[in-house]
Amino acid sequence: MAMLRLLAISLLCGVVAVPLLGEPRGDGFEHARYAVLVALVIGQAVTVPIGSVAGLVLATTGSWPRTPGYATGAITAAFGVVVATQAWAASRWIDGSPPGLRDPEDSSLVAAAALLSGVFTICLGICIAVMRWSGYDPRTAPIRRSRTRRRPRTP
């Protein structure tokens, strides 16, 4: 569960790079959207491996067994929807050969990476919400019940 939680958090933390790297090359909303997507993909390329390693360490040691909550799943899925829709719109804009982009093929790759990131984030958020809704708790062991009652031992 720590792996899922930290993977979701690391996908969301990719936004930290947007103010640092999200400077548009041209004028207009489309150039700003593309710059934000590029910064998001770069930020996620840094934060996802860190979150995955931390989640793997915590999962193997059993330090953080709690199931992620509904809020984590809902926020992750909503963030994925925003990223996927903006990446789809940027992809459609790039296919129209806009002025001001140096290489439309490289730009299409960045938009495709952002779209895949958004779809993966949506799936992760839904998985977290479904696991929480189903009542899955790794700290509890399944109860084994026998069909026959055992007689108490007599000393």
Nearest to 97 by CA among 11, 30, 2: 30
Number of folded domains that form the chain: 1
Instruction: Give a yes or no: residue 57 inside a domain.
Output: no
Tokens of 4: 């899922």
- Say which residue the tokens 């996908």 belong to: 11
Q: How many angstroms separate the CA atoms of 101 and 30, rounded?
A: 11
Instruction: Give a yes or no: residue 151 inside a domain.
Output: no
Instruction: Give a yes or no: residue 91 inside a domain.
Output: yes
Instruction: Give a yes or no: residue 87 inside a domain.
Output: yes
Domain extent for 71? 2-48+63-134
Instruction: Give a yes or no: residue 128 inside a domain.
Output: yes
Instruction: Give a yes or no: residue 73 inside a domain.
Output: yes
Helix or strand (DSSP H, E) at 114: helix 104-134
Instruction: Give a yes or no: residue 68 inside a domain.
Output: yes
Per-residue confidence of the chain (155 residues) as pLDDT tens digits? 778 888 888 999 988 888 888 777 778 888 888 889 999 999 999 999 998 898 888 888 877 767 678 888 899 999 999 999 999 999 888 887 666 666 777 788 889 999 999 999 999 999 988 888 887 666 554 555 556 666 667 76
Q: What is the pLDDT of residue 141?
A: 47
Instruction: Give a yes or no: residue 148 inside a domain.
Output: no
pTM of the model: 0.78
